[in-house]
Structure 1
Amino acid sequence: MKVLVIDIGGSNIKILATGQPDRIKIPSGDMFTPQQLVPLVIENAKGWEYEAISIGFPGVVKNGKIVADPVNMGMGWREFDFASAFGCPVKIINDAAMQALGSYEGGKLLFMGFGTGLGTAMVYEDLILPLEGGHLPFKLATFETHVGNGAMKKLGKPKWKEHVYQTIAHFNHCFQPDQIVLGGGNSKLLDNIPDNCRLGSNKNAFTGGFRLWEKSYKY
């Protein structure tokens, strides 16, 4: 099956289709809506062949449906009919979960994406489990408020890294994964990669989007 993968972010939308050598990046922004997304994707993917679409969405997705509009983009995502708009079957999954699936190599995998906030998900065999781990309480706030971009700017990189290592240790103890994949742009700033961890790649999001159509996953 030829699949178009759409990875939605607060700054950019990234797309890639089966058999294409390079992804295309499309600017988004804090007022970006699905009504803007569809024609931009169709235009930029002109000439690409695809019969189905995977969408990685930066928010809560349940049973393949967006539960709420994202806090860092425009409105209208929750009720939007992507399949009708694109004219083909569409699967929607949390963006961290899509990266986790693309990173999966067996066993019980925990994905932690350090970027604007903290994206978390687990994969075990055919089960994809999106998590909202960044919203768990930590030091009178949440993990996300201590390891997101805002914390790095406010506290400086040394203190931010200290919080990141503490967060990884807490999640490792809590979820007992076989391996942790550290994704997101900020994971590359870490000086040392903890035991039981490896760095991921943003390309894994596309791998996850392609895999989503290869067999029946529970998510």
Structure 2
Amino acid sequence: MNVLVIDIGGSNIKLLATGQPERIKIPSGSDFTPNDLIPLVKDATKEWSYEVISIGFPGVVKRGTIAADPVNMGKGWMGYDFEKAFGMPVRIINDAAMQALGSYEGGKLLFMGFGTGLGTAMVFEDLILPLEGGHLPFKLGTFETHVGNAAMKKVGKKKWKEFVYQTIEHFRHCFQPDEIVLGGGNSKYLEEIPEKCRLGSNKNAFTGGFRLWEKEFKI
């Protein structure tokens, strides 16, 4: 089965299909909508062969359907019929959950993505559990307000890293994972990797998208 994976982000949309050596990147932005996405993806992948699609979406996904519009893009995502638009089967999953699935090597895994905000998800065998852990209260705000990109710019990298390490330990004690994968664009700033943690890769999002069609997962 040839799969097209679409990894949707607030700055860029990244595409990769089975058998293709290089991904394609398409700029998105604060006004980007699904009606913008569809023709751009079709044009960019017109030379590729695929029968099904996986979409990693930066927001709440319930039972394979987008449940709310993202805060950093345009409107119209909630309930959008991607299968009708693309004319083929589509599976939609939270973007952090897709990275978690692509990072999974066994046991109980917690994924923490440090980027614009804090993306969190867990994988245990055939169960994929998206989390909105970044919205949990922490100090005088939430975890996301302390470890997101805006926080790093506000307090500086040294203080930001202190908050990140505190966040990792809070989540470790709460969820008791066997392993924590640290992803997102800002995880590269962590010089010291805590015990039973490892750095992930954005490539894992594509691996997760391909795996999504290998069997039926509980999401």
Give ranges in structure 2 of 5+ residues lacking alignment.
none
Say whether residues 1:173 and 2:173 are aligned partners.
Answer: yes
SS of 2:181's partner is strand
Matches within 5 A, 1:14-33: 14-33=14-33
Residue 114 of structure 1 and its aligned partner are, at CA, apart by: 0.1
Q: Distance in 2 between matches of 1:101 and 1:153?
A: 30
The residue number in structure 2 matching 1:127 is 127
Determine the C-alpha separation between the residues in 2 that align with 1:218 and 1:146.
31
State whether structure 2 residue 45 is matched by structure 1 residue 45: yes
Q: Secondary structure at the match of 2:186?
A: helix
What code does the residue aligned with 1:186 have?
Answer: N
The match for 1:141 is 141
Matched, 1:211 2:211: yes
* Unmatched 5+ stretches in structure 1: none
Give me the identity figure in percent. 80
TM-score of the superposed pair, with normalisation by structure 1: 1.00
Aligned match of 1:36: 36
Specify the SS of the correspondent of 1:185.
Answer: coil
**1:70 matched to which residue of 2?**
70
Letter aligned with residue 187 of structure 2? S
1:68-217 equivalence runs, <5 A: 68-217=68-217
- Offset at 1:79? 2.4
Equivalent position amino acid for 2:149 in 1? N
Number of equivalenced pairs? 219
Q: Residue type matched to 1:128 in 2?
A: I
SS, match of residue 92 in structure 1: strand
Q: What does 1:49-60 correspond to in 2, within 5 Å? A: 49-60=49-60
Give, in angstroms, the shift of residue 46 of structure 1. Answer: 1.2
Distance in 1 (alpha carbons) for counterparts of 2:158 and 2:139:
17
Aligned residue identity for 1:57 = F
Root mean square deviation of aligned Cα: 0.4
Distance in 2, Cα, partners of 1:54 & 1:212: 7
CA distance in 2, matches of 1:22, 1:185: 19
Paired letter, 2:65: K
Deviations, residues 108-127 of structure 1 (Å, cap 9, x unaligned) = 00000000000000000000
Q: Secondary structure at the match of 1:120?
A: strand
Q: Cα offset for 1:140? A: 1.5
What's the counterpart of residue 7 of structure 1? 7
Q: Deviation per CA, 1:60-80, whole angstroms, max 9, x where unpaired? A: 000000000000000000121
* TM-score normalised by the chain length of structure 2: 1.00
